[in-house]
């Protein structure tokens, strides 16, 4: 299954390390990140899940719920968590889906047969409160994810969902943003009272409006 931006994220029920969840119900009115791991007891995944646990406060600040997935069974997950907590000096504080039948992995297209017909690639889905997919990133199994980038794109997605702006290359929270082309110059003062700079008629910047 190929999921595209704007598609409704498929709903599912699954057993996790924190009990059974019904995905849409579990998300509620939060944003969500669903991300997959090739297998338990693998080195890169161990560092990623440790990093995710350490960022709990950052995700909560952004109203984001995080859930991981591996195609190994639940008892394996619980044993792996002990290693993650020990080696990464943290406590795993989010659910990990047990997907030994690959039901969820297939539903989200996390198995790429040319890479592996059994293990998931490192898929990331950012899902909005409307349950629609806002961002997808796919990494090969050998490359660990950049979690600072995930926080950055969530900041951008949440900003652009509420204001008529886009974020430029390498944008970081607190920097100027780009005014949407559909906004006429005469309407800018009412929408963006902090002022704006016209670099070109199609390229107008303004201070981040929600600060």
Catalytic residues, by residue number, are 45
**What's the count of helices (H) and strands (E) in the chain, helices before strands?**
7, 11
d(C-alpha 189, C-alpha 183), whole Å: 11
Burial class (CB in 10 A: 0-12, 13-18, 19+), 164: middle
Asked if 140 and 172 count as a contact pair (C-beta separation under 8 A), the reply is no
d(C-alpha 39, C-alpha 111), whole Å: 12
Q: What is the DSSP secondary-structure string of 31-79?
A: EEEEEEES-TT-HHHHHHHHHHHHTHHHHHHTTEEEEEEESS-HHHHHH
Sheet strands (E) in 107-150: 122-127, 133-139
């Amino acid at each position: 299954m190929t999921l595209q931006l704007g598609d409704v994220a498929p709903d599912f029920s699954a057993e996790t390390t924190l009990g059974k969840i019904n995905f849409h119900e579990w998300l509620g009115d939060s944003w969500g990140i669903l991300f997959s791991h090739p297998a338990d007891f693998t080195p890169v995944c161990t560092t990623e899940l440790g990093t995710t646990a350490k960022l709990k406060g950052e995700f909560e600040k952004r109203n984001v719920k995080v859930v991981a997935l591996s195609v190994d069974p639940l008892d394996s997950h619980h044993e792996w968590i002990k290693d993650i907590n020990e080696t990464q000096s943290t406590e795993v504080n989010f659910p990990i889906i047990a997907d030994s039948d690959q039901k969820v992995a297939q539903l989200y297209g996390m198995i790429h047969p040319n890479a592996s017909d059994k293990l998931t690639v490192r898929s990331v889905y950012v899902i909005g409160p409307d349950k629609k997919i806002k961002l997808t990133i796919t990494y090969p199994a050998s490359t660990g994810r950049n979690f600072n980038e995930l926080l950055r794109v969530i900041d951008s997605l949440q900003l652009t969902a509420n204001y008529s702006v886009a974020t430029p290359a390498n944008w970081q929270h607190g920097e100027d943003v780009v005014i949407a082309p559909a906004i006429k110059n005469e309407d800018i003062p009412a929408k963006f009272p902090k002022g704006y700079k016209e670099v070109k008629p199609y390229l107008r910047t303004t201070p981040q409006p929600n600060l």
